[in-house]
Amino acid sequence: MSEPGDDGDNRARSIALLRMMERIRAFEEQAILAAERDRLVLGAIHPSIGQEACAAGIMQALRRDDILLATHRGHGHTLAKGADPLAMFRELLGRAGGCCGGKGGSMHIADFNVGMLGANGVVGANITIGAGAAHGLKLMGSDRIAVDIFGDGAVNRGPFLEGLNWAAVYALPVLFVCEDNQWSATTRTRTVTAGEGAGARAAAMGLPVTTVDGNNVEEVAAAADEMVARIRAGNGPEFLHAITYRQTGHTSFDKAAYRPEGEAERHKMEDDPIARQRAFLAGMGVRSAELETIHAEAQAEMAALLKEAAATPFPPDDTAFTDVQDIGSPAKEAF
């Protein structure tokens, strides 16, 4: 965390936030191209375009050995946690050297080396798992913490209640983040969510709740810094409600025709987290050439990595039978 008044540090940090968001955006734009144009990605991918501020702002508050669990829409979180984008592209393309050996794909992206214990294909399932990771850390006397990110749709699943209650009862070191993009697939979440929503529910289970503009990366980062510090100090779980917007369809295939006309366009024009951070930095005096360079570098990096990933072979066929289990492994089964 930066000292107040330390302008150089602040500026560097703000630029780093932008850079991370640009890299996430570039990664996903390439991933979409790989899916739509190149037909290299066979499964569904769920872009987080428009939501990059959450990933960038929260992950910068964490240590490499802190734990992260995310959702099906987890590319950004994973990259921001420090995962290698080449291994991520390889995973999306189902290739050897993918971060899950090509076994998981986009929806199960994970990199245990940087504490990223997996995206999850079941809405809300990561909430109890994340609470449990924090439980394990606390049992072992570690000062590491866990961050558990989920969408607004997940607050209507039972594990939301069970996981938050669990974390609060055992005062676990976990930051729950509801990355609220206002949509659950094709359904507007508020039409199926009673009461005041995510924050009110968390508060009712005794968790301190902070609500932020999830498209303002500076605000997200500042909130995350404070919350993470309190959690690491042993004060128990907290809840961050970050309001953002899903600029794309639910998957890269989804044209999202169900949305009111102009809604997505308005968000893209007025509320894009990258554009906002660029404007913020411009206001701080950063020159537009520098901003352009950051953008261009991110684009170039990801385009090159996608190419490299596409040139990688598929995993060996027999890995279909490894890492299932030791006892009664299908690789050994005979008769």
Task: List contacts with Mg ion (CB under 5 A).
Answer: 151-152, 181, 183
- Residues 86 and 107: their CA atoms lie apart, in Å, by 16
Query: Residue from 13, 108, 157, 268 that binds a second copy (CB under 8 A)?
Result: 157
Q: Which of residues 167-206 bind ligand TPP (CB under 6 A)?
A: 181, 183-185, 189
Q: Which of residues 95-114 bind another protein (CB under 8 A)?
A: 95, 98-105, 107-108, 110-112
Q: Which is nearer to ligand TPP, 92 or 294 (CB)?
A: 92
Please, what is the minimum distance in Å from the beta carbon of residue 290 to another protein? 37
Interacting stretch for another protein, rule CB under 8 A, among 24-32, 76-84, 191-199, 228-236? 191-199
Please, what is the minimum distance in Å from the beta carbon of residue 53 to Mg ion? 15
Q: Which does 194 bind (CB under 5 to 8 A by kind): ligand TPP, Mg ion, a second copy, none?
A: a second copy
Q: Which does 247 bind (CB under 5 to 8 A by kind): ligand TPP, a second copy, Mg ion, none?
A: none
- Residues 111 and 128: their CA atoms lie apart, in Å, by 19
User: Is residue 314 close enough to count as binding another protein by CB under 8 A?
Assistant: yes
**Whether 61 contacts 54, CB under 8 Å:** no
User: Is residue 163 close enough to count as binding another protein by CB under 8 A?
Assistant: yes
Contacts of 209 (CB under 8 A, 6+ apart): 199, 202, 203, 238, 239, 240, 241
Q: Alpha carbon of 126 to those of 81, 155, 287: distances in Å?
A: 17, 12, 41
- Axis crossing angle, helix 273-283 with helix 288-310, rounded to the nearest 10: 140
Q: Which does 181 bind (CB under 5 to 8 A by kind): Mg ion, another protein, a second copy, none?
A: Mg ion
Closest CA to 224 of 239, 235, 205, 245: 239
Neighbouring C-beta atoms of residue 300, cutoff 10 Å:
11
